Structure 1
């Protein structure tokens, strides 16, 4: 599916002008926002699209017959079509709107037909959103988690993955891009390998959907999950893509309005996907906001953005490599624009707080990836993550602030 043909020439200052929050200061200093892997900021296009829907054309969707209901339903379903185009889905009926990437994965896990001893393959660098739902199957249904190791840079061994997939494997569930190491999973090879053994694949695309071109049809992946708030859209909206036959095989996740066909005193029948998984009032305004975010993003020169983010990553990595008191975690050459690091003798929380006083926002903690922290031999790291609106001079501010943090903490 083709993205809009008109592209705005890349200009980081023009992009920054679209984000009102970037004009503010923090602790009397210009805001340097390097926490994009946790949640990205929102352009005016998203803010105004949601406000306009609330001001002039809001109603509940699908069941109303009046003008506002029809207008809002059209806008909501247009968002589904936009998402389908963005990730290369063959049909908008393969797009389920959820409250986030976490719920998207939970829908799949909860609906999987699992017997005691059946296996789920996950890697040690997964976000908890792609671990805990499978643990719940272990606790409730006796599933077995088979763990795929990664190297220090987050690379996986396809031969090791092949060895883990056996006759009782029910799902291979892997990240498409690590939220800590920014390592990119060789998704096409993973899918081919798993499908050769008749096993479906779920990819957690919460980071990849922002920083990579995603084509679920070309990947032939069975399920794909991502969230809106990392993609310059609002919170409270996520996406589950599923192949039609895979979605049709899943039972409902929640019960209520919209997800039903017939409700009687003695029986209930369920709607077809995607509505089967959208019980109750869906995230209407959030879907409209997500559409605006994708439309805004697709109007940019994505290739230039990818080049820009790679330049930010390389510039920051080179600067950090020159500091013998900084340890970098994950240095794959084609990694995404996320840098996890540790400062010798300092807790990441202390580092982050001192950086904040200099106007620099980074994340600190285990990043919802405790098995990976154990694999790396740390309890937590600091993390700087870049978006399309960040600049090289902001990296300089970050490095200077890091030097100040080192002095204060040594």
Structure 2
């Protein structure tokens, strides 16, 4: 039986490829964005209790009311934002499903969707599957917003603008000036919808502050914000996230969500609802900032040059003093010959900048993991 591929040029993601190569060559895996340490023990205890007592049947389609209430309270506590748990929060099977549900809800054939490159790799396939067209705008050399270029490219055909904050892969955090610029764009373009990927909302370093779109009235009117418990709680394999949007947009998102997954793991939702009132994001930040600083110290005497990371799991390094190979060939060589798996930055672009030699390290690892990787890299 023959049918045409919807993605004839799409291959396995670079994350799967590099993790597979790391396993094959016995490399230290700093490529895919997952921790190698456990979630909070208190949360694991909550899960054990609910495994033994929960009914293990379908949760309500939007998510357990207790979890949605706990999420609303967490946002009030951490970001001073008020969210209606009944009409504005939907529990999803990870952030990726939330991203797809929003894109499937708002993007129609012929619509243009603006992405800011380098950008997370799941945005474009979802847009293209809906018949939309990606308009890629490169971030500035320091990875700040290219405000002139964004304003210039917005047209009546532009349906959606996707913003990732804190940013993967660069670790950049948007400033108040940049957020006000986006709010002005919203005010000037009433047809435009925003998707804010805020999965690293709690993971911000060095006194920087994560500014959520939910705090800006004009963005709040027409934005959907996506979050991940996997990132917030060091448990990426659980695949539980949520999406926050105004009541009208949430109603339409749920129409898609109910036919994608209907409902998400019920006993995990119950455990999260019990745990969240005691969740301290500052402990998470302290742990990850210590890991970032440890990596920086370990590589300080090498020819890898760090690009400051203000948040997320990731630290970029410039390797131009080490090799003239492009980043894909360089990372493949590193896995095979040095025994360290990293991610090339060019894969986050449709049209990568020429002569850019950057690689992404995931530092959400134990010190011994980072130390072993650094030992292997110090001779380069």
Structure 2 residues without counterparts, runs of 5 or longer: 1-27, 76-80, 324-328
The alignment partner of 2:160 has SS state of strand
Equivalent in 141, 151, 165 of residue 140 of structure 2: 151
Equivalent residue number for residue 17 of structure 1? none
Superposition map of 1:310-349 within 5 A: 310=289, 313-314=292-293, 316-317=295-296, 320-324=299-303, 326-328=304-306, 330-331=307-308, 334-336=310-312, 338-341=314-317, 344-345=322-323, 347-348=330-331
Superposition map of 1:202-221 within 5 A: 202-211=195-204, 213=210, 215-219=212-216, 220-221=219-220
Superposition map of 1:157-176 within 5 A: 157-176=146-165
The alignment partner of 1:81 has SS state of helix
The alignment partner of 1:226 has SS state of strand
Measured in 1, the distance between the counterparts of 2:170 and 2:55 equals 41
1:203, distance to aligned residue in structure 2 (A): 0.6
Measured in 2, the distance between the counterparts of 1:107 and 1:341 equals 33
Equivalent residue number for residue 402 of structure 1? 374
Equivalent in 37, 42, 51 of residue 39 of structure 2: 42
Question: Which one has the largest radius of gyration?
Answer: 1
Measured in 1, the distance between the counterparts of 2:102 and 2:318 equals 35
1:381 equivalenced with 2:369 (yes/no): no
Cα 1:354/1:77, change in 2 over 3 Å: farther
Structure 1 residues without counterparts, runs of 5 or longer: 1-31, 64-72, 257-276, 357-361
Cα 1:174/1:242, change in 2 over 3 Å: same
Cα 1:285/1:152, change in 2 over 3 Å: farther
Cα 1:379/1:370, change in 2 over 3 Å: farther
Cα 1:317/1:402, change in 2 over 3 Å: closer
Measured in 2, the distance between the counterparts of 1:36 and 1:296 equals 29
Measured in 2, the distance between the counterparts of 1:373 and 1:380 equals 15
Equivalent in 264, 277, 286 of residue 268 of structure 2: 286
Cα deviation per residue 1:151-193 (whole Å; 9 max; x = unaligned)? Answer: 3332122222111212221111111122221012346325413
Measured in 1, the distance between the counterparts of 2:287 and 2:354 equals 29
Cα deviation per residue 1:63-99 (whole Å; 9 max; x = unaligned)? Answer: 8xxxxxxxxx9x9321111122223342112111111
Root-mean-square deviation over aligned CA pairs: 3.7
Cα deviation per residue 1:47-75 (whole Å; 9 max; x = unaligned)? Answer: 22122111123232568xxxxxxxxx9x9
| Alignment check: 8 A CA contact 1:84 1:92 kept | yes
Equivalent residue number for residue 231 of structure 2? 230
Measured in 1, the distance between the counterparts of 2:261 and 2:48 equals 23
Measured in 1, the distance between the counterparts of 2:238 and 2:287 equals 25
1:369, distance to aligned residue in structure 2 (A): 4.6
Q: TM-score, normalization: structure 1?
A: 0.66
Aligned length: 324
| Alignment check: 8 A CA contact 2:93 2:261 kept | no
The alignment partner of 1:178 has SS state of coil
